[in-house]
């Protein structure tokens, strides 16, 4: 059974029709693991999104049998200090409280200004107690910058990355993220470690959720404190 979504060496690729059955089995096993072992929703904060992208990049290159020293790097430092091989960096360009309504994702008028109730389950560690989950959605715009030595390399890697994100969209969705491609930016030339390189940027909308968990006993104590404070000030 799959234990952790971000601890995978090879993921099924949606671009391969033969992988559809594998994907269905994979998602079912993930759901069973979450329900039987954790008994609470998968964490969906934006920080947990980037290891998933890294896992997808690693998996794709393993399938393509790319040697380790030739594989594209995935790092947060932008621009990278050196360019030993092609590199993809990432940055959160914009982040807002989640918006909802009838318009497209990230473009509605109503904001989720506070945390809301999500679920209540049996506490996995304390018999007889409940575990309450609250969450707040966020709309994030994540920019991926792709660096390579030549214009051709960066163009091909940009299209490769775009296809990869589309092929593994099911994987991000199974992990609790809505991911939508916004488009590719302009090509630029720059110098890194005395080498002339080319960079392209790709922008993605990512819906994430910050969740917090409270035991029923914790909530009861807070409720009693609020009630006592209210009585003293009334």
Domain boundaries, the chain: 17-233
E strand segments, 45-177: 73-75, 87-97, 99-100, 110-111, 116-122, 130-148
What pLDDT sits at residue 194?
86
DSSP calls for 177-224 = -EEEEEEE---EEEEETTEEEEEEEEEEEEEEEEEEEEEHHHHHHHHH
Percent of the chain with pLDDT over 70: 62
Residue 38 DSSP label = I
* 202, β-bridge pairs: 144, 184
CB-CB contact of 127 with 93 (8 Å):
no
Please work out, in degrees rounded to the nearest 5, the angle formed at the alpha carbon of residue 165 by the alpha carbons of 102 and 86: 140
What pLDDT sits at residue 157?
96
Residue 10 or residue 170, greater confidence:
170
For 16, list phi and psi in degrees, rounded to 5.
Answer: -100, 115
Overall pTM surpassing 0.85 (yes/no): no
What pLDDT sits at residue 9?
47
Evaluate if residue 173 carries a pLDDT over 80. yes
Evaluate if residue 37 carries a pLDDT over 60. no
Evaluate if residue 29 carries a pLDDT over 50. yes
CB-CB contact of 78 with 89 (8 Å):
yes
Q: Per residue in 64-98, pLDDT tens?
A: 999 988 999 999 998 888 888 899 999 999 999 88
The rounded mean pLDDT for the chain is 77
Q: Per residue in 92-120, pLDDT tens?
A: 999 998 876 656 665 656 666 666 666 67
For 182, list phi and psi in degrees, rounded to 5.
Answer: -95, -25
Evaluate if residue 3 carries a pLDDT over 50. no
Q: Per residue in 127-149, pLDDT tens?
A: 767 777 777 889 999 999 999 99
């Amino acid at each position: 059974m799959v234990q952790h979504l971000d601890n995978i060496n090879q993921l099924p690729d949606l671009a391969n029709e033969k992988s559809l059955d594998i994907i269905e089995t994979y998602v079912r096993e993930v759901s069973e693991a979450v329900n039987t072992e954790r008994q609470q929703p998968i964490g969906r904060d934006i920080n947990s999104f980037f290891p998933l992208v890294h896992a997808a990049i690693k998996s794709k290159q393993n399938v393509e049998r790319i040697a380790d020293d030739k594989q594209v790097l995935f790092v947060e430092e932008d621009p990278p200090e050196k360019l030993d091989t092609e590199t993809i960096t990432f940055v959160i360009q914009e982040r807002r409280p989640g918006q909802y309504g009838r318009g497209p994702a990230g473009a509605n008028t109503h904001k989720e200004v506070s945390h809301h109730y999500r679920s209540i389950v049996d506490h996995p560690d304390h018999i007889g107690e409940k575990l309450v989950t609250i969450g707040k959605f966020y709309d994030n715009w994540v920019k991926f910058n792709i660096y390579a030595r030549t214009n051709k390399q960066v163009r091909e890697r940009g299209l490769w990355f775009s296809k990869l994100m589309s092929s593994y969209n099911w994987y991000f969705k199974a992990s609790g993220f809505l991911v939508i491609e916004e488009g590719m930016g302009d090509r630029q030339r720059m110098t890194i470690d005395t080498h002339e390189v080319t960079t392209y940027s790709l922008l993605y909308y990512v819906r994430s959720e910050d969740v917090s968990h409270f035991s029923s006993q914790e909530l009861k104590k807070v409720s009693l404190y609020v009630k006592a404070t209210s009585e003293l000030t009334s």
